[in-house]
Amino acid sequence: MHLSEQDLAPSIGESLASYIRRARTSLGLSQKELAERAGIHAQSVGKIERGQTKRLKQEPKRGLAHALSIPVEFLDAICLGRTVDAIAALRFCPQCWVPGTAPDPMWTTPRSKYCFACGTELCDRCSNCKEPVASLRFRFCPYCGKSYKT
Protein backbone atom coordinates (compact mmCIF):
# COMPACT_ATOMS: atom_id res chain seq x y z
CA MET A 1 0.00 0.00 0.00
CA HIS A 2 1.32 3.42 -0.84
CA LEU A 3 0.49 6.04 1.74
CA SER A 4 -0.23 9.56 0.76
CA GLU A 5 2.48 11.63 2.38
CA GLN A 6 0.01 14.25 3.37
CA ASP A 7 -1.82 11.74 5.55
CA LEU A 8 1.18 11.88 7.83
CA ALA A 9 1.24 15.65 8.13
CA PRO A 10 0.06 16.74 11.57
CA SER A 11 -3.45 18.19 11.79
CA ILE A 12 -4.10 21.54 13.37
CA GLY A 13 -4.20 21.20 17.14
CA GLU A 14 -3.22 17.55 17.07
CA SER A 15 -1.36 16.38 20.17
CA LEU A 16 1.95 14.58 20.02
CA ALA A 17 0.24 11.52 21.52
CA SER A 18 -2.46 11.26 18.88
CA TYR A 19 -0.10 12.16 16.06
CA ILE A 20 2.45 9.47 16.91
CA ARG A 21 -0.31 6.90 17.33
CA ARG A 22 -1.89 7.86 14.00
CA ALA A 23 1.43 7.85 12.14
CA ARG A 24 2.40 4.52 13.69
CA THR A 25 -0.87 2.76 12.93
CA SER A 26 -1.01 4.13 9.40
CA LEU A 27 2.32 2.40 8.83
CA GLY A 28 0.94 -0.76 10.43
CA LEU A 29 3.57 -0.83 13.17
CA SER A 30 3.16 -2.01 16.75
CA GLN A 31 4.56 0.17 19.53
CA LYS A 32 7.39 -2.32 19.87
CA GLU A 33 8.20 -2.23 16.14
CA LEU A 34 8.17 1.55 16.10
CA ALA A 35 10.43 1.65 19.16
CA GLU A 36 12.87 -0.75 17.52
CA ARG A 37 12.98 1.27 14.33
CA ALA A 38 13.43 4.49 16.24
CA GLY A 39 16.05 3.04 18.56
CA ILE A 40 14.10 3.88 21.71
CA HIS A 41 12.39 1.85 24.44
CA ALA A 42 8.92 0.48 23.73
CA GLN A 43 7.92 2.01 27.07
CA SER A 44 8.91 5.43 25.72
CA VAL A 45 6.54 5.01 22.79
CA GLY A 46 3.81 3.98 25.21
CA LYS A 47 4.44 7.05 27.33
CA ILE A 48 4.31 9.34 24.29
CA GLU A 49 1.05 7.79 23.10
CA ARG A 50 -0.51 8.11 26.55
CA GLY A 51 0.35 11.80 26.52
CA GLN A 52 2.87 11.48 29.35
CA THR A 53 5.69 12.77 27.18
CA LYS A 54 5.07 16.21 25.76
CA ARG A 55 8.55 17.11 24.64
CA LEU A 56 11.03 14.97 22.79
CA LYS A 57 14.78 15.11 23.20
CA GLN A 58 16.90 15.38 20.05
CA GLU A 59 17.86 11.72 19.83
CA PRO A 60 14.43 10.08 20.19
CA LYS A 61 12.94 12.80 18.03
CA ARG A 62 15.32 12.03 15.19
CA GLY A 63 14.78 8.33 15.71
CA LEU A 64 11.01 8.69 15.55
CA ALA A 65 11.14 10.94 12.49
CA HIS A 66 13.33 8.39 10.76
CA ALA A 67 11.14 5.46 11.82
CA LEU A 68 7.99 7.22 10.61
CA SER A 69 9.66 8.69 7.50
CA ILE A 70 8.55 12.19 8.41
CA PRO A 71 10.57 15.41 8.60
CA VAL A 72 11.84 16.19 12.10
CA GLU A 73 10.11 19.56 11.60
CA PHE A 74 6.71 17.87 11.94
CA LEU A 75 7.60 16.70 15.44
CA ASP A 76 9.15 20.05 16.32
CA ALA A 77 6.03 21.85 15.19
CA ILE A 78 3.73 19.61 17.22
CA CYS A 79 5.84 19.95 20.36
CA LEU A 80 5.78 23.71 19.95
CA GLY A 81 2.06 23.74 19.24
CA ARG A 82 2.50 25.30 15.82
CA THR A 83 -0.07 24.97 13.11
CA VAL A 84 0.23 23.17 9.83
CA ASP A 85 0.65 26.51 8.09
CA ALA A 86 3.93 27.01 9.89
CA ILE A 87 4.96 23.49 9.06
CA ALA A 88 4.14 24.04 5.43
CA ALA A 89 6.84 26.70 5.19
CA LEU A 90 9.31 24.06 4.17
CA ARG A 91 12.32 25.10 2.21
CA PHE A 92 14.73 23.20 0.07
CA CYS A 93 17.57 23.73 -2.35
CA PRO A 94 16.31 23.06 -5.88
CA GLN A 95 19.79 21.83 -6.82
CA CYS A 96 20.84 19.65 -3.86
CA TRP A 97 17.59 18.29 -2.47
CA VAL A 98 16.90 14.63 -3.25
CA PRO A 99 13.13 14.37 -3.91
CA GLY A 100 11.28 12.09 -1.54
CA THR A 101 13.70 12.66 1.34
CA ALA A 102 13.40 14.97 4.31
CA PRO A 103 15.00 18.37 3.66
CA ASP A 104 18.27 19.21 5.34
CA PRO A 105 17.57 21.09 8.61
CA MET A 106 20.03 23.74 7.39
CA TRP A 107 17.49 24.71 4.74
CA THR A 108 14.48 24.84 7.01
CA THR A 109 15.86 27.05 9.75
CA PRO A 110 13.87 30.27 9.48
CA ARG A 111 16.89 32.45 8.72
CA SER A 112 18.25 30.39 5.83
CA LYS A 113 17.78 32.01 2.45
CA TYR A 114 20.50 30.33 0.43
CA CYS A 115 21.77 26.76 0.28
CA PHE A 116 24.70 26.15 2.63
CA ALA A 117 26.26 23.80 0.09
CA CYS A 118 25.88 25.46 -3.30
CA GLY A 119 24.57 28.97 -2.61
CA THR A 120 21.38 28.57 -4.66
CA GLU A 121 18.40 30.52 -3.38
CA LEU A 122 16.09 28.21 -1.39
CA CYS A 123 12.53 27.52 -2.54
CA ASP A 124 9.42 27.10 -0.42
CA ARG A 125 6.91 26.92 -3.24
CA CYS A 126 6.38 25.42 -6.63
CA SER A 127 8.43 27.29 -9.22
CA ASN A 128 5.62 26.87 -11.74
CA CYS A 129 2.31 27.64 -9.99
CA LYS A 130 3.72 29.27 -6.80
CA GLU A 131 1.64 27.11 -4.47
CA PRO A 132 3.46 26.48 -1.17
CA VAL A 133 5.15 23.11 -0.86
CA ALA A 134 2.71 20.86 1.01
CA SER A 135 5.19 18.11 1.75
CA LEU A 136 8.74 17.59 0.66
CA ARG A 137 8.00 13.92 0.46
CA PHE A 138 6.16 14.74 -2.72
CA ARG A 139 8.40 14.77 -5.76
CA PHE A 140 5.91 16.70 -7.85
CA CYS A 141 3.70 19.65 -7.11
CA PRO A 142 0.21 18.25 -6.33
CA TYR A 143 -1.39 21.36 -7.88
CA CYS A 144 0.25 21.53 -11.30
CA GLY A 145 2.33 18.34 -11.53
CA LYS A 146 5.67 20.03 -12.06
CA SER A 147 8.72 18.45 -10.40
CA TYR A 148 9.88 20.43 -7.35
CA LYS A 149 13.45 19.85 -8.30
CA THR A 150 14.73 21.97 -11.15
**E strand intervals along the chain:** none
Interaction between residue 144 and Zn ion (CB under 5 A) = yes
User: Cβ closer to Zn ion: 3 or 117?
Assistant: 117
Spatial contact of 119 and 109, defined as CB atoms under 8 Å apart: no
User: Cβ closer to Zn ion: 24 or 137?
Assistant: 137
Interaction between residue 134 and Zn ion (CB under 5 A) = no
Q: Which 8-state DSSP code applies to residue 114?
A: B
* CA distances from residue 78 to 16, 55, 86, 102, 127 in whole angstroms, order as listed: 6, 9, 10, 17, 28
User: Cβ closer to Zn ion: 3 or 129?
Assistant: 129
Residue 97 sits at φ, ψ, to 5 deg, of -65, 135
Rounded CA-CA distance 114/22 in Å is 34
The region of 24-32, 38-46, 58-66, 119-127 touching Zn ion under the rule CB under 5 A is 119-127
The region of 38-46, 60-68, 94-102, 106-114 touching Zn ion under the rule CB under 5 A is 94-102
The region of 30-38, 76-84, 102-110, 120-128 touching Zn ion under the rule CB under 5 A is 120-128
Sites of contact with Zn ion (CB under 5 A):
93, 95-96, 115, 117-118, 120, 126, 128-129, 141, 143-144, 146
